[in-house]
Amino acid sequence: MKRRLPAEWEKQDGILLAWPHKDSDWRPVLHQVEPVFIEIAKQISLFERVVIIAPERDTVEEKLQNAGAVVSRVTIYEIGSNDTWMRDFGPITVLEGEKPLLLDFFFNGWGLKFAADQDNQATRRLHQAGAFAATPLESVGLVLEGGSIESDGNATLLTTEECLLGPNRNPHLSRKEIEAALAETLGAENILWLGNGFLAGDDTDSHIDTLARLCPEDTIVFVTCPDEDDLHFTALRQMASELESFRTGDGLPYRLIPLPWPSPRHDKDGQRLPATYANFLVINEAVLVPTYQDKNDTAALAAIREAFPNRTIIGIDCLPLIEQHGSLHCLTMQIPKGVLP
C-alpha cells in the first residue's frame, strides 16, 4: 500500500520529548536548560498532548505542574536516554491509507560522533510500554534522523546532500539507492536535494531543519546571512539560489520567505554555536519558535507568522539549548493524529 509522510502542520496527537538529566551532556548547564524544557512542554500542553521519556517521573511531573502545564495532557515514561534530541531518534510516522505506521530507523549518533545505545532503543521501549496504543512499529535498516528530512505531506521531501549522502550514515548506498529507500519507506516521489548550506558548530552534518523548512501553500522559509564577512555568507547565498530553482510536485516554484540571521554566538572555548530560527516546531494551532535574546528575534517571529498566518506564534528563549549545538525542533518529534491511546 502506498505510504505518505504527513507534513508537520497536519493534525497531531502530541509531541515526544526526552528530558535532560545529569548523565547527559546537559549536566554542566542542567539548571539553565531544564527551564527551557519546562517551557516547551508547558506550551505544547496548552494545545495538545506531551509524551516524555525521563529517568524519573515524579520530579518532572511536579516541575511541570508548578509551571502551569496542563498535566492531564502529559504522560511520562521512565525510559533512559543518552541525550535529548528526540527529533533524531524518535519514530517517524507514515500513513498507509489512513492507518498510521511507526518507523524506527537506525540512529548512529549523527555518524558515530556520540554514544547512542539508549537513544536507539527509545522508540521500541516506548512502543513496548504501550505509548502508541496498537499502532504497529516497523524497524528500518537505514540510518536516518528526523531532522534530516522535511515533508510537504504530498510526496515531496526536502533534504541535504551533506547529511544523507555523507560517508558516516549509509556509505554502502548510492544516491539512487537512497532515493529508492526513501520512496519505499516514506512514499517520496519528489526529492529536493540541497547541495549548499551549513551552520558552524552543527554536529548533524547540515540537517535540513536548521537551514530550510517546508511550510503550507508551497512555501519554504530559509536562513539567510547578510554579512559578507561571515563564513556562512557564500554557502547560504548559493543555498538560496538552489531554493529558487526548486519546483513542487506540480512543477511550480516555491514561495520563499527569508529568515533573519541571529548575531554570532560562541561557547566558552570560542566555538561558534549554531543558532537558527529555522528550528521551529509546528503544533496544533501554534508554532513554537526559538529565540536567542537577539535583536532579530522579533523579525524572525514575523517571518514565521507570514508562513503560518492562521496559527499562534510563540517565541521560546532557546539560548541555553545551543550550548549543546541544537535547538527547539531538534528536541521534539510530532506524533500525527490516530497514534496515541
pTM of model > 0.95: yes
Own/partner long-range contacts of 136-140 (Cβ < 8 Å, ≥24 apart): 136/101, 136/102, 137/91, 137/101, 137/102, 137/103, 137/104, 138/101, 138/102, 138/103, 138/104, 139/104, 140/103, 140/104, 140/105, 140/106, 140/185
Give the residue carrying C-alpha cell 521512565.
Answer: 78
Question: Going by C-beta distance under 8 Å and a sequence separation of 6 or more, which residues neighbour residue 318?
Answer: 36, 279, 290, 291, 292, 327, 328
Domain membership flag for residue 29: yes
- pLDDT tens-digit readout, 143-193: 999 999 999 999 999 999 999 999 999 999 999 999 999 999 999 999 999
Cα torsion at 75, 76, 82, 84 (round to 10°)?
40
Q: What is the DSSP letter of 341?
A: -
- Counted domains in the chain: 1
Domain membership flag for residue 66: yes
What average pLDDT does this structure show over 183-207? 97
Domain membership flag for residue 330: yes
Backbone torsions φ then ψ of 84, nearest 5 degrees: -125, 15
User: What pLDDT score was predicted for residue 14?
Assistant: 98
User: Domain of 42?
Assistant: 3-336
- Residue 54 in 3-state DSSP? strand
User: What pLDDT score was predicted for residue 1?
Assistant: 79
For residue 134, pLDDT over 90 is answered with yes
The cell for 207 is: 540537517
- Measure CA 203 to chain center: 14
Binned at pLDDT 50, 70 and 90, residue 198 comes out as very high
Binned at pLDDT 50, 70 and 90, residue 80 comes out as very high
For residue 295, pLDDT over 90 is answered with yes
**Furthest-apart CA pair in the chain: how many Å?**
54
User: What pLDDT score was predicted for residue 338?
Assistant: 97
Distance CA 329, CA 207 (A): 11
- pLDDT tens-digit readout, 256-273: 999 999 999 999 999 999
User: What pLDDT score was predicted for residue 275?
Assistant: 97
Domain membership flag for residue 153: yes
Domain membership flag for residue 341: no
**What's the start-to-end Cα distance of the chain, in Å?**
24
DSSP string covering 105-141, please? EE--HHHHTS--TTHHHHHHHHHHTTTTTT--EEEEE
Domain membership flag for residue 290: yes
Binned at pLDDT 50, 70 and 90, residue 76 comes out as very high
The cell for 92 is: 517517524
Other Cβ atoms less than 10 A from the Cβ of 134: the count is: 7
Distance CA 117, CA 328 (A): 23
Q: Where are the alpha helices (DSSP H) in the chain?
A: 30-45, 57-66, 86-89, 109-112, 119-128, 161-164, 175-186, 233-245, 297-307
The cell for 185 is: 519507506
Task: Judge whether 239 and 204 are in contact, CB under 8 Å.
Answer: no
Q: What percent of the chain has pLDDT over 70?
A: 100
Domain membership flag for residue 27: yes
CATH number at residue 119: 3.75.10.10
User: What pLDDT score was predicted for residue 112?
Assistant: 86
Distance CA 231, CA 229 (A): 6
User: What pLDDT score was predicted for residue 107?
Assistant: 96
For residue 129, pLDDT over 90 is answered with yes
- Residue 79 in 3-state DSSP? coil
User: What pLDDT score was predicted for residue 253?
Assistant: 98
Task: Judge whether 211 and 278 are in contact, CB under 8 Å.
Answer: yes
Mean pLDDT in the chain?
97
